[in-house]
Amino acid sequence: MRDKKPAILLLEDGRLFRGWSFGAEGETGGEVCFNTGMTGYQEILTDPSYCGQIVTMTSPHIGNYGVNREDVESAHIQVAGFVVREETEVPSNHRSTQSLGDYLRETKIVGIQGIDTRALTRHIRDRGAMNGIISTEEADTNSLTEKLKKVPSMNGLDLVPRVTCDNSWKWDKNEFDIEPKFKVACIDYGVKWNILRLLTSHGCDVNVFPATTTAESLLDWNPDGIFLSNGPGDPAAAEYAVEMVKTVLGKKPIFGICLGHQILSLALGAKTYKLKFGHRGINHPVKNLETGTVEITSQNHGFAVDIDSLPNNVISTHLNLNDNTSEGIQCKDIPAFSVQYHPESSPGPHDSRYLFQQFMEMMEEFSQ
């Protein structure tokens, strides 16, 4: 058992939580949000969509099954900080290679445990998402308040440059021994690796392109389809991404997820707005408006598409049953569709994996 060092979480509205150091010691700031999933903490930590955020887990015990080398969504941890009620210091799972706390210490991620995460979650739900700072080094709240003022607001913040690749590269981890049928260009706004795995499992040869890729260079590669990935930050701030998508609309089939959904919507003429506290978890009900079925989905977003702003040539395909926000769109006149939630979700649920097959069928039809 390690000696626990006191730690503080200070929110920008002055709410203070005192606990104990978890992971690395130091200070970190970012937007404080919460995730309602009971599992999947390693995938959450490595999801580029969480860049710039301090993630709170609502489940009281985190780290039960440890950490392994396979269950990652990117090359390194992406969150700004991590908040849990209680860390499991001795994990129990045959795949585990180390504890969650050791993993955070090794990667220099600052966290806090021992606080009332229920109270923190209710505070965010009531007051809305807000910036916060975790510190194991500073007890003076006045000093921390001044540091917190320097943490940028998520509104108007383009975080894609922090997570996109520098150069194009080929996803060559074909674990499924499937002969590729389609060439897919993935625009990397912060792509999760499980998306690339699923595209490959459906017979796609995937090349990943930086978010700043021009339409000309993208079309020169002559893909059968274009995938717009998930990612962090305010979609309206990524104007270069929106302009590129405008240029390729109708020229190739397009499928977008999460930030990709928002960027496609903006390119089509819709608007986006910031949610009060966002949707983050693995148990969000979404209604498929075409079939009437309800899918349990994995979600991670703080912004949403304004359904009322959709142009006449775009239909709403999926709706969040918790707050009636946009969860999917499809164009009537060009081959393009997108969803706000995560059908590639790992560890789950898998209700919406059919969307990848829908993309394959769209590319097949477009090629004829």
Q: State the catalytic residues.
A: 258, 342, 344
For residue 22, what are the β-bridge partners?
Answer: 111
In angstroms, what CA-CA distances link 300 with 48, 76, 276, 284? Answer: 11, 18, 13, 10
- Residue ranges of the alpha helices (H) in the chain? 41-45, 100-106, 117-127, 141-148, 160-163, 193-201, 215-220, 239-248, 259-267, 354-367
For tokens 């983050």, name the residue.
Answer: 280
Beta strands 336-339; 254-257: pairing state: parallel
CA dist 163 and 286 (Å) reads 28
CA torsion sign, 278 to 282 to 283 to 284? positive
CA dist 339 and 356 (Å) reads 11
Tell me how long the chain is: 368
Count CB neighbours of 168 within 10 A: 16
